[in-house]
Chains A and B, each alone.
Chain A
Amino acid sequence: MLLEVSHIFKSYPDLPVLHDVSLEAGPGEILCLLGPSGCGKSTLLRIIAGLETPDSGTVAFAGQDLASVPAHLRNFGLMFQDYALFPHRNVAENVAFGPRMRDWSRAETDARVREMLALVGLSGYETRSVTELSGGEQQRVALARSLAPDPRLLMLDEPLGALDRSLREQLMNDLRDILKGVGVTTLYVTHDQEEAFALADRVLIMQARLDQGEGGRVVQEGPPEAVYRHPATAYVARFLGFRNLFDGAVVEVNPGPPPRYVVDTPLGRLDVYDAVGAYAVGQRAAVLIRPEAADALPAGSAGQNNTLAGRLLSSSFRGSYFLVQTEHIGGVLTCEVPVTEADLPSPGQPLVLHLNPDAITLLEG
């Protein structure tokens, strides 16, 4: 592992920021720190960059402890949320800054500037003033600037946060290609789950428990698909946007493999086929019903497992499905139901849903 961050604690007077955070990154990996504002992810970047010191814990790169190495000697790259481009220098001078500070020759620097600008798609912008650039252009210059001195590790702090939606989509794709093309180990910080999943090899979800006096900590780590399929806790599930979360108690275990459970929930007894880890009878767990789990059945259907009779609250057309809110005994479900308009009753009328057990999972509460 190239980057090793171990047991970082950091707090300011009256404000805990980081609580026992550890992570590792291998060469060429893109790691994404995902979490809401205030969970300390930007502070963690700054600590790794050397702009702040942790209260305890170590940051090591290629086996070397960086505690005594000041920021300007670490050879890392950091791209700021609002770019921090030098206003009194033009585009080429901004990009050339890093190589100049590292005493590259004039010829090497010029060549590198051209190469970087071509990489981010801004060839020919050398003499432009940075204050006249658009948001997207500034972001690209900032990226070129941080990559120019060939850093051992690149850190990006919410780089797409200030851009509008269409620009973000476009840059998200370009960014992963550029980073993988260059092959630099990358730490990417964001609060946007979509960005994280589009860019990362591995995602780390952070949560701060300020009411308990604790700063941010990593609550789940893994490839984006694994995290999405199996959020570790209800917090992670809610952060990822899942809404159908219920308390449950396991009543039956079929060890399988794969293990299958029957769980008692406020909505009734449900078959749950998609759980990770082992749960015992009587164990309490959170039940996550994915939005794609539901199918609409003709009114009056009953009998099978996982069939819930309810009342339609609202429905909204989304193209390939309807976003349907239904009220059942025990709770409200929000599901993406693939029906046509003809099959849906009007709001207030009864509606029966069948929930596919492969799309229901168990998590820690």
Chain B
Amino acid sequence: MSRTRRLENLLYIIPLGFLGLFFFYPLAAVVWEAFAPAGRLDLSPLFSLWREPYFRQALWFTLWQATLSTVLTLAVGMPAAYVVARYRFPGKSLLLALTTIPFVMPAIVVAAAFTALLGPRGWINSRLMSLFGLDAAPIRLQHTIWLILLVHVFYNTAVVVRLVGSFWANLDPSLPEAARVLGGSRFRAFREVTWPLLRPAVVSAGLLIFLFCFTSFAIIMILGGPRFATLEVEIYRQAVILFRLPQAAAISLAQMAITFVFMVLYTRVQARAAVTLNLRSSKETEQRPSGALQKALVIATIAGLVLFLATPLLALLSRSLAPGDPLRYYRELFVNRTGSIFYVPPAAAIRNSLFFASVTVVLASFIGATTAYLLARREDRWSRLLDPLVLLPLGTSAVTLGFGYILALGLPGFDLRRSWLLVPIAHTLVAFPFVVRAVLPGLRGLNPEWREAAAVLGASPWEVWREVEMPIVWRALLVGAVFAFTTSMGEFGATLFVARPELPTMPIVIFRLLGQPGPLNYGQALAMSTLLMLVCAAGFLLIERFRVGSLGEF
């Protein structure tokens, strides 16, 4: 083996070492805790879990809310996907971008936005109260299942519109037309021709949405209140509030097992959906809406989507502005009132978040770019091993990861648990797969002959990277870096476990402020959420500006 190849092999240490130390090791600690709390093999917490009512309730609740959310999202999203797939209209690309914005918003921001829209002090309630002169808020969705479902639908409609819509757009419209010519009604043509072709994409999207809702954390915590607990919430409660670590570990194990099953299902279906069946380009299949009915349908869909997706975020912005003195809540962020549970003004969290995000960007870009390089360049057994491993952190619940960190990373003399480093490390774990996904297509799209031509012309492997690959790939790298940044800014589940109390991040401050009574705290929470929303929206616009091609599949 040549020397350069041997040196390249050393690069594998970076992603594999990082994953080994900060992913597998903490997870193993959780599993160990579940099987052998206090060091001895003791399966009783695991076995008794099934008998505990809180666990059964949490499991049942998690399953049915995820299922219902998925069904509702599909019901809302499919018509929108149809319109997006079939018709061409002005502003279509803008609409598509709009549908993705909720998805890149941190869950905490979305939760805050919906309280701002539908909460007791929310926009709709205030309007209705002033309009009809009511004393109490008429719409009481807070802490009900309906709000949770609504938010889940809001969050995941983008998945349906993008995933199913783009697949639908690529289907050959002459197939159902052939069915109609052969004598089938419109409905039958859909049921017997279009639907079977569409089914893999729909199932694929459905599974993805189910997984997201299954592991939903921030939304349940904030909007569900004490009555509702998913498995994620239970893990947090058992570990951090009740300090029953073995039980928390046992629940984590159960959750890992279930998500694993669904992820395997998802990859199976995804492979089937990826089979090309005489796909046409979407430009060919879309038509201008003709006739009043079609036009009305398009307009209604656009209006409905815009209304649904934009109003919560607009409500957040508007409610963060105090009546009479718009920037009052924002100024309050910088003040440390006595009696506050923080020793620092909430605005310090802004500085912390930015700092952690910057560190995350550096770490995630480095590890992500190295991983993408290895996956693109090498076709040996190590890269084949690395490929699926990279996606694992995305499918693991952040809460479980955070829990694993506090279990595992306290070695004597090297107690990372006390270190602020843990926060960017946790963020990097979640963020670097995004960097890989952004950079890898760019690298794979490189014609290998360019690298070979450069090598023969005298460029060493480092020079090949600098002269050929980097200039072409830096845009993808930028997109990945921005992804890492916004992911870090909005991360909540793992951060809740590993952040030191005197170094909170913005999501944590928002969470705590939302839990405090009083309009001042609530206003500050909304102000902070608005700031976070603006940062993520700016990041998203940057991504849209610089990415090449489609946003990529999930």
A residues contacting B by CB (< 8 A) are 49-51, 70-78, 80, 82, 84, 86-88, 97-98, 101-102, 145-146, 149
Cβ-defined partner of B456 (8 Å) among A76, A86, A87: A76
26 intermolecular pairs with C-beta atoms under 8 Å apart: A49-B456, A70-B2, A70-B4, A72-B457, A72-B463, A73-B458, A76-B456, A77-B456, A77-B457, A78-B452, A78-B456, A80-B449, A80-B453, A84-B449, A84-B453, A86-B453, A86-B454, A88-B471, A97-B457, A97-B459, A98-B458, A101-B459, A145-B457, A146-B456, A149-B457, A149-B458
CB distance from B405 to the nearest CB of A (A): 42
Expressed in whole angstroms, the Cα–Cα distance for A73 and B450 within the complex equals 17
Among B449, B453, B461, chain A packs the most CB atoms within 10 A around the CB of B453
Cβ-defined partner of B452 (8 Å) among A51, A70, A98, A149: A51
B144 within 8 A of A: no
Which residues in window 1-19 of B have CB below 8 A to A? 2-4
B467 within 8 A of A: yes
B residues contacting A by CB (< 8 A) are 2-4, 447, 449-450, 452-461, 463, 467-468, 471-472
Contacts of A77 in B (CB 8 A): 456-457
Contacts of A84 in B (CB 8 A): 447, 449-450, 452-453
Expressed in whole angstroms, the Cα–Cα distance for A101 and B458 within the complex equals 5
Q: Is the CB of A71 within 8 A of B4?
A: no
Expressed in whole angstroms, the Cα–Cα distance for A86 and B455 within the complex equals 13
The 5 closest A-B pairs by CB, nearest first: A101-B458, A84-B449, A98-B457, A84-B453, A78-B456
Q: A86-B468, A97-B467 are in contact. Are A71 and B450 (CB under 8 A)?
A: no
Contacts of B454 in A (CB 8 A): 86, 97, 101
10 extra A-B contacts, CB within 8 A, seeds A51-B455, A76-B456, A97-B454 = A71-B456, A72-B457, A72-B460, A72-B461, A72-B463, A86-B468, A87-B450, A98-B458, A101-B463, A146-B456
| Overall SS of chain B's interface | helix
Q: Is the CB of B455 within 8 A of A71?
A: yes
Q: Is the CB of B456 within 8 A of A72?
A: yes
Q: Is the CB of B453 within 8 A of A78?
A: yes
Contacts of B460 in A (CB 8 A): 72
Contacts of B457 in A (CB 8 A): 72, 77, 97-98, 101, 145-146, 149
Q: Is the CB of A86 within 8 A of B450?
A: yes
Contacts of B463 in A (CB 8 A): 72, 101
CB distance from A154 to the nearest CB of B (A): 11
Contacts of B455 in A (CB 8 A): 50-51, 70-72
Expressed in whole angstroms, the Cα–Cα distance for A67 and B454 within the complex equals 20
Expressed in whole angstroms, the Cα–Cα distance for A88 and B450 within the complex equals 11
Q: Is the CB of B458 within 8 A of A102?
A: yes
Among A50, A88, A101, chain B packs the most CB atoms within 10 A around the CB of A101
CB distance from A86 to the nearest CB of B (A): 6
CB distance from A4 to the nearest CB of B (A): 20
Contacts of A75 in B (CB 8 A): 458
Expressed in whole angstroms, the Cα–Cα distance for A97 and B467 within the complex equals 9
Name the residue on B nearest A86 (C-beta): B450
Contacts of A149 in B (CB 8 A): 457-458
CB distance from A334 to the nearest CB of B (A): 41
CB distance from B462 to the nearest CB of A (A): 10
Expressed in whole angstroms, the Cα–Cα distance for A145 and B456 within the complex equals 11
Name the residue on A nearest B452 (C-beta): A51
CB distance from B5 to the nearest CB of A (A): 10
Expressed in whole angstroms, the Cα–Cα distance for A146 and B452 within the complex equals 12
Expressed in whole angstroms, the Cα–Cα distance for A84 and B468 within the complex equals 11
Name the residue on A nearest B5 (C-beta): A70
CB distance from B181 to the nearest CB of A (A): 43
Expressed in whole angstroms, the Cα–Cα distance for A245 and B459 within the complex equals 51
Expressed in whole angstroms, the Cα–Cα distance for A51 and B467 within the complex equals 18
Contacts of A72 in B (CB 8 A): 455-461, 463
Contacts of B449 in A (CB 8 A): 80, 82, 84
Contacts of A70 in B (CB 8 A): 2-4, 455
CB distance from A179 to the nearest CB of B (A): 18
CB distance from B471 to the nearest CB of A (A): 5
CB distance from A151 to the nearest CB of B (A): 9
Expressed in whole angstroms, the Cα–Cα distance for A149 and B454 within the complex equals 12
Among A75, A82, A86, A146, chain B packs the most CB atoms within 10 A around the CB of A86
Name the residue on A nearest B449 (C-beta): A84
Expressed in whole angstroms, the Cα–Cα distance for A88 and B472 within the complex equals 7
Contacts of A51 in B (CB 8 A): 452, 455-456
Contacts of B456 in A (CB 8 A): 49-51, 71-72, 74, 76-78, 146
CB distance from B478 to the nearest CB of A (A): 16
CB distance from A268 to the nearest CB of B (A): 55
Among A49, A76, A82, A84, chain B packs the most CB atoms within 10 A around the CB of A84
Expressed in whole angstroms, the Cα–Cα distance for A82 and B452 within the complex equals 13
Expressed in whole angstroms, the Cα–Cα distance for A105 and B198 within the complex equals 61
Contacts of A71 in B (CB 8 A): 452, 455-456
Expressed in whole angstroms, the Cα–Cα distance for A216 and B3 within the complex equals 30
CB distance from A121 to the nearest CB of B (A): 21
Expressed in whole angstroms, the Cα–Cα distance for A97 and B463 within the complex equals 11
Expressed in whole angstroms, the Cα–Cα distance for A97 and B452 within the complex equals 13
